[in-house]
A and B are shown apart, each in its own frame.
Chain A
Amino acid sequence: MVKTHPVASGIPALDNVLGSLRLGDNVVWQVDRLENYHLVARPFVKQALGEARKVVYLRFATHQRILPPCPGLLTIELDPRPGFDPFSSQVNKVIEGQGSGVFYVFDSLSHLVGEWATDELLANFFQVTCPFLHELDTVAYFALKRGHHSHSAVARIRDTSQVVIDLYHVYSKLYIHPIKVWDRYSSQMFLPHLYSEGKLTPLFQSGDASSILISASKSPLKVKADSIAPWDSVYRKLAQYAPEELEKLSDSVEIQALRQELTQMLIGAHAQLRDLAERYLSIKDLLAIRNRLIGSGRIGGKAAGMLIARRILLEEDGKFDFSKVLEEHDSFFVGSDVFFTFLVNNDLFRLRLRLTRNSRISHEEFHEVEDRFLAGRFPDEIMEQFRDLLDYFGQAPIIIRSSSLLEDSFGNAFAGKYRSEFCANQGSPEERMEVLLRAAKLIYASAVNPDALAYRRQRGLGESDEQMAILIQRVSGTLYRHYFFPPMAGVAFSYNLYRWTDRIDPGQGMIRLVMGLGTRAVNRLGRDYPRLIAASHPGLRPEMGAKVAFYSQQQMDLLDLAKNEFRSLPVMEVACNNDYPGIRFFLSELKDGYLRDMEGEDPADLKNPVLTFNRLISQTDFVEIIKELLSKLQNAYGYTVDTEFTAFVGEKGEIRINLVQCRPLRLPGMTASTAIPESIPSERILFRAKRAIPGGVIRNIRYILYIDPISYAKNATIDEKRMMGRAVGTINRHTEVAQHRIMMMGPGRWGSSNINLGVNVTYSDINNTSVLVELAREENGHMPDVSYGTHFFLDLVESNIIYLPVHPDESETDFNHDFFTKSPNHLDLLLPDAEGLKNFIKLIDVPFVTGGATAQVIAEARNGSAICYLGFKSDPWEIKDGSEAINHSTVQDILKFRYVR
């Protein structure tokens, strides 16, 4: 068998003791000093090169080279600083690229702990790398510093490797002591051997052996070994101080240094977030996090954002005293290392790596992935901590939220990409544990869901360090009957992108408010609308009269403790009694064709109650508090922010806020000075729009995918509508689209959960489009609904996809119906099997149709007006960026559009 093929180590005596190395061996040398590693690695390489083997030296540590450069030796330098995930991925790629039968020498693995802070990740790295090397029949040398790593990490390394050998000096003599030699045995193999003049002499004599071993091992119980992992050592150092001492010494150099180190370990290395943490989180805050940390590692962007934002609000001066406004949070954090341990222990790491590299996974395939995650198990010590957590919360409802390292960080919101799970948390401890574990595993699985992978690829984050921490929080809310929910929840943005009138000052922000759990505020639901509040003019709303009732919230999300589940119920079914606290601040009544705010009536008596929050807005400080909250956070972050909150209103109108999330919101195009040229000939204009978001210029759009809104509404069956959503996704992923730009146009609300209201897609189905156009047909003063503030909308904003609501029936839109209806359909080009959809979906190859022109979109950020027109680079008004020039034609040529003929 190939696996038993002997391999020479370059030290014949060692081959003799071990019964020789074999192809597939991962050899771990536990050394007391690095020079000892030289003594075994160099002969190994020399021997291998002499046998014309391919030898690769993986160089990643800052210590001296283990192997000097020599002919035939390939040195590959890698950088472990970006973190465990990208480093493991790089190594995996190298191994894959080099193929089978290669010999490797790695720098000291102990160096990695210095970079990654925990032994857990070191063991994880080893555990994902070695099986792959073993499969490829390689022989690899690794070194670990003896006695510097935790027992559990060393145990895992030992379990994974084939050969583990201690190599140490005692009394100036060098000893080699095989600890594990897989599938080989001799009566002397596991004795310490004196290594001298090329010979290995076993120590039979018990006295010698004892004295050697006692000197060589500081402690036989490795559980107590001193780990060199910064995580443990920093914490140990801090633990030496009493709390009051820490307070007193907080400005001392030593405590400051420890604080910085702890910040980096808990929050991460992202410069802006770390700076904020260093500025606002005290050593006490950090230790409080540590005390509620399950496992080790970082707490992730979402948790960090929440904690930092709370601290900003409490520390910065303003009109409101936030210590009286902010509710306490009650959170636990599952450290990011636990994620990798889970992956590694359950044989999921390589699955994740494969999916990360190739994000073409369907939603159906993802369900199978979820099943594999659900079958995984957590380590015993984590399970213990989960039990403690559940004991702590008792039967209070909790929410399990993703908090990945990249999530909610600067520039990468991952809004809604990863999972959050509410747990009503009722039932026996075992049942509650089962629900908690299921939620945690589903959150881990969501790290590889198609939308998240598409988002990562789109943003060039494919292989960056993405560790999934988890935030477990007590659900903010109150019990009413057997329902648990917060009176109000919502999202608030410090910049208002939804400006339907110039009176609104976008810089003062916007609030999207719902009654009940905030899930309704962030998702795009069918016929259900949160209250949109422009912070600068809270009394304004874009609807009038009875339309206000139509554009209001009908259903609310809550936890039904009797049924032990998350539910959506009609608002009036839940809160129809006057005994619901503060209901008078929320309800109005539509009567005689106009709205009047509730005036002490029993809600059950109202014939047409409408959730408007009118009295909350006009009679309490709610809007002013949120305005100040947004302003403080934006100032501290130096960025526009996006927050999620729950809120409570007392009988006298006093407001309490629980800030559950804060993240910087990237708004592309806000600073670019774009202006719509006035000289575009009218026959070139495809359409105009008024509320474009964000601003920007997209040139050279080759394809237009056009879904006819009338045939979609009138003629398409539900099945055809579903097929259209899938077809859009397929086109979106087509290589042609990746190379050339596409604009997608279709009816109503893209991404709505109600298929009749708009094209049935998710983010990953449209992420390659440059422009998304929602075609809204006017209906008796109907205000076309847009998705401002939802996750779907945020995805568009963040991905630099220009979003345009267009009203084809309005004359000022200048909608070129002929172009869209008469242009030939090239759907076959990208979707040969979609004959049945050609009546609904049209793919327009713009240069083909126009004789060389492409579609151009210019959107002015400041006022939201936009234009889409046919243009050439030679056009006098075009900005000459020169980067994407296409075939030039004369201005006259374009007047002879083929579709007209």
Chain B
Amino acid sequence: MSDNGNNPFKIAQKQINDCADILKLDQSTREALLRPMRELHVTFPVHMDDGTTRMFQGFRVQYNDAKGPAKGGIRFHPDETIDTVRALAAWMTWKVALLDLPLGGGKGGVICNPKELSIHELERISRAYIKAIAPFIGPEKDVPAPDVYTNPQIMAWMMDEYSSMLGKNQFGVMTGKPLSLGGSPGRGDATARGGLYTLREAARKIGLELNKATVAIQGYGNAGSYAASLAESMFGAKIVAVCDSKGAVCCRAGLSSQTIAKQKQSTSSVLNCQGSECISQDALLEMDVDVLVLAALEGILTGKNAERVKAKVIVELANGPTTPEADEILYKKGVHVIPDFLCNAGGVTVSYFEMVQNASMYYWDEKEVHERLDKRMTRAYHEVFDMSEKHHINMRKAAYAVAVSRVVEAMKTRGWV
């Protein structure tokens, strides 16, 4: 990846520098944070179905493990680059630190296109990759998880390969495994549920009664659809607008999440939901609602439309839905933004729970997972909020400050810096 402004690692480094300025970190600490601690580049052969052998390239980056074993996904993507993996590993470091999980940040990837691979080839690549990085990972060193184009089945193959290399079951080497192989209950809706716990706390802070609140949801994929049903069941909030890639609908009287789900299931779109009217996606973002859930793509709120946002709270379930310009505008307007890496940290928190359960060989029920997730998310929210108040900075910067300071403290205590 070139050194242009779109290089994700350059962006990640800038964020660290900004945060270091707030925290007034010394130069050596800053230097230690700006680079990954360890990187492994591997090349490995895989036998293809047609009898040929192809070489594949993979990476594993452990950005910082001062607080504990590295944690982060494995991506199978044709356009994978080491700089993307580095940046994502850095962001994982801050996310797990923000939740105060005893973990560090990591990420991995294989340059391949799963759309061009049969299931058997995918299995062979998964096993070959894990064989290649096996010395680098382990339940106490680095615990990968599913990410782009990898899934619980792939985690199961990888865990199996790793276990057979060690000659013993090592369920804890991967998270995101199928339930039948040591996966944790409560993973399916963890991201949305964790986000709504932070919403609940935010509402308390700003005096918003969620049982009377109106909610607009931008994006109706996995996170968005769970957010709709949980907002109803947890708070009794009223969903007044939803959208997906095909368009947006609104209904001031409220839309039932079940109705929306049925419509989506039968027509592949939320459009024409019973009792709703079509509006534009832009109109949805600018609706006079209490809560705006952003659950689709990055860059939705920008310097151009942020001024017109009327919501009191913004719930960032997607990654990067608000640009830095929009962040500043919203902060000045007094819109309360729950930043993405706090808001959507429910997934990694349940991954951590999976590690704990694997290690103890004792598995919790879903209710227990929800309760523990609630505690973690609630505590993290308040820590970020307090930091924001203390330094008079927006919630995103505050979240970085909380996370980075925790990593720095661990590094210092260990005597690294």
- Residues in A lying within 8 Å of B, measured CB to CB: 500-503, 526-527, 537-546, 550, 591-596, 614, 713-715, 717-718, 754, 756-757, 777-780, 782
Which of chain B's residues 98-116 have a Cβ closer than 8 Å to chain A? 113-116
A contact face: mostly helix, strand, loop, or mixed: loop
B residues near A778, Cβ cutoff 8 Å: 245
Do A754 and B246 contact each other (CB < 8 Å), given the known contacts A501-B113, A503-B116, A537-B118? no
Do A715 and B278 contact each other (CB < 8 Å), given the known contacts A593-B146, A593-B152, A777-B245? yes
Query: Judging by beta carbons under 8 Å apart, are B268 and A527 in contact?
Result: yes
Docked complex Cα distance between A366 and B119 (Å)? 50
List, sorted by A's number, 21 A–B pairs whose CB atoms are closer than 8 Å. A500-B115, A500-B116, A501-B116, A527-B266, A537-B118, A538-B118, A539-B49, A543-B115, A545-B151, A591-B178, A594-B178, A595-B153, A614-B119, A713-B246, A714-B279, A714-B281, A715-B278, A718-B272, A756-B246, A779-B244, A782-B245
CB closest residue in chain A, given B246:
A713
- Asked if B269 is at the interface of the complex by the 8 Å CB criterion, the answer is yes
- Asked if B221 is at the interface of the complex by the 8 Å CB criterion, the answer is yes
- Asked if B248 is at the interface of the complex by the 8 Å CB criterion, the answer is yes
B residues near A594, Cβ cutoff 8 Å: 151-154, 178
A residues near B154, Cβ cutoff 8 Å: 594
CB closest residue in chain A, given B279:
A714
Do A714 and B247 contact each other (CB < 8 Å), given the known contacts A539-B118, A592-B178? yes
- Asked if B120 is at the interface of the complex by the 8 Å CB criterion, the answer is yes
- Asked if B179 is at the interface of the complex by the 8 Å CB criterion, the answer is yes
Query: Judging by beta carbons under 8 Å apart, are B247 and A754 in contact?
Result: no
Query: Judging by beta carbons under 8 Å apart, are B247 and A526 in contact?
Result: no
User: Which single member of A527, A539, A782 contacts B120 (CB below 8 Å)?
Assistant: A539
- Asked if B297 is at the interface of the complex by the 8 Å CB criterion, the answer is yes
Which of chain B's residues 126-177 have a Cβ closer than 8 Å to chain A? 146, 149, 151-154
A residues near B114, Cβ cutoff 8 Å: 544
- Asked if B271 is at the interface of the complex by the 8 Å CB criterion, the answer is yes
A residues near B118, Cβ cutoff 8 Å: 537-540
- Asked if B183 is at the interface of the complex by the 8 Å CB criterion, the answer is yes
Query: Judging by beta carbons under 8 Å apart, are B272 and A756 in contact?
Result: yes
CB closest residue in chain A, given B318:
A780
B154 to chain A, nearest CB (A): 8
User: Which single member of B149, B153, B297 contacts A596 (CB below 8 Å)?
Assistant: B153
B415 to chain A, nearest CB (A): 41
CB closest residue in chain A, given B280:
A714
B residues near A543, Cβ cutoff 8 Å: 115
Do A754 and B267 contact each other (CB < 8 Å), given the known contacts A539-B119, A540-B116, A591-B178? yes
B221 to chain A, nearest CB (A): 6
- Asked if B117 is at the interface of the complex by the 8 Å CB criterion, the answer is yes
Residue among A502, A538, A543, A780 with max Cβ neighbours from chain B (10 Å):
A780
A833 to chain B, nearest CB (A): 25
**Residues 208-244 of chain B, each 1 if its beta carbon lies under 8 Å from chain A, else 0:** 0000000000000110000000000000000000001
- Asked if B309 is at the interface of the complex by the 8 Å CB criterion, the answer is no
Docked complex Cα distance between A715 and B296 (Å)? 21
A residues near B244, Cβ cutoff 8 Å: 779
Query: Judging by beta carbons under 8 Å apart, are A713 and B296 in contact?
Result: no
The 7 A-B residue pairs whose C-beta atoms are closest, nearest first, are A539-B118, A779-B245, A501-B116, A594-B151, A594-B153, A714-B247, A527-B268
CB closest residue in chain A, given B296:
A780
A residues near B152, Cβ cutoff 8 Å: 592-594
A residues near B222, Cβ cutoff 8 Å: 546
User: Which single member of A526, A542, A591, A596 contacts B115 (CB below 8 Å)?
Assistant: A542
Docked complex Cα distance between A754 and B149 (Å)? 30
Do A593 and B151 contact each other (CB < 8 Å), given the known contacts A503-B116, A756-B272? yes
Docked complex Cα distance between A538 and B121 (Å)? 12
A721 to chain B, nearest CB (A): 11
B178 to chain A, nearest CB (A): 5
**Residues 245-260 of chain B, each 1 if its beta carbon lies under 8 Å from chain A, else 0:** 1111000000000000
Query: Judging by beta carbons under 8 Å apart, are A780 and B271 in contact?
Result: no
Query: Judging by beta carbons under 8 Å apart, are B267 and A526 in contact?
Result: yes
Docked complex Cα distance between A614 and B278 (Å)? 39
Which of chain B's residues 265-291 have a Cβ closer than 8 Å to chain A? 266-269, 271-272, 278-281
Query: Judging by beta carbons under 8 Å apart, are A756 and B269 in contact?
Result: yes
B residues near A541, Cβ cutoff 8 Å: 115
B residues near A614, Cβ cutoff 8 Å: 119
Docked complex Cα distance between A591 and B183 (Å)? 12
B residues near A526, Cβ cutoff 8 Å: 267-268
A residues near B297, Cβ cutoff 8 Å: 780
Docked complex Cα distance between A596 and B119 (Å)? 11
A residues near B121, Cβ cutoff 8 Å: 539
Docked complex Cα distance between A543 and B269 (Å)? 19
User: Which single member of B113, B149, B221, B247 contacts A713 (CB below 8 Å)?
Assistant: B247
B residues near A718, Cβ cutoff 8 Å: 272
CB closest residue in chain A, given B179:
A592
CB closest residue in chain A, given B181:
A592
**Residues 182-207 of chain B, each 1 if its beta carbon lies under 8 Å from chain A, else 0:** 01000110000000000000000000
A residues near B278, Cβ cutoff 8 Å: 714-715, 717
Do A527 and B267 contact each other (CB < 8 Å), given the known contacts A544-B114, A592-B179, A714-B247? yes
Docked complex Cα distance between A175 and B187 (Å)? 103
B224 to chain A, nearest CB (A): 10
A residues near B296, Cβ cutoff 8 Å: 780
Residue among B113, B149, B151 with max Cβ neighbours from chain A (10 Å):
B151
Docked complex Cα distance between A542 and B271 (Å)? 26
A residues near B151, Cβ cutoff 8 Å: 545, 592-594
A residues near B149, Cβ cutoff 8 Å: 544-545
Docked complex Cα distance between A537 and B48 (Å)? 11
Do A756 and B49 contact each other (CB < 8 Å), given the known contacts A594-B153, A779-B244? no
Besides A756-B246, A756-B272, 8 new A-B residue pairs in contact (Cβ under 8 A), listed by A number: A501-B115, A537-B118, A550-B268, A592-B152, A593-B188, A594-B151, A715-B278, A780-B296
Docked complex Cα distance between A596 and B152 (Å)? 10
